Amino acid sequence: GAGVSQSPSNKVTEKGKDVELRCDPISGHTALYWYRQSLGQGLEFLIYFQGNSAPDKSGLPSDRFSAERTGGSVSTLTIQRTQQEDSAVYLCASSLLPGGPGELFFGEGSRLTVL
Partner 1 sequence: GENVEQHPSTLSVQEGDSAVIKCTYSDSASNYFPWYKQELGKRPQLIIDIRSNVGEKKDQRIAVTLNKTAKHFSLHITETQPEDSAVYFCAASSASGGSYIPTFGRGTSLIVHP
**Residue 40 or 71 with smaller CB distance to partner 1:** 40
Under DSSP, is residue 65 helix (H, G, I), strand (E, B) or coil?
strand
According to DSSP, the β-strands at 110-114 and 10-13 are: parallel
Under DSSP, is residue 24 helix (H, G, I), strand (E, B) or coil?
strand
Point out which span in 15-23, 39-47, 61-69, 72-80 binds partner 1 (CB under 8 A).
39-47
Footprint (CB under 8 A) of partner 1, residues 83-102 = 91, 95, 97, 100-102
In whole angstroms, the minimum distance from the beta carbon of 18 to partner 1 comes to 26
Q: Say whether residue 20 binds partner 1 (CB under 8 A).
A: no
Q: Which long-range contacts (CB under 8 A, 24 or more apart) does 43-52 make?
A: 43/91, 46/77, 46/90, 47/77, 49/75, 50/97
**Residue 19 or 32 with smaller CB distance to partner 1:** 32
Q: Count each helix (H run) and each strand (E run) in the chain, helices first.
A: 0, 10
Q: Say whether residue 25 binds partner 1 (CB under 8 A).
A: no
Q: Say whether residue 23 binds partner 1 (CB under 8 A).
A: no
d(CA 75, CA 21): 8
Contact footprint for partner 1 (CB under 8 A): 31, 33, 35, 41-43, 45, 48, 50, 53, 56, 58, 91, 95, 97, 100-104, 106-109
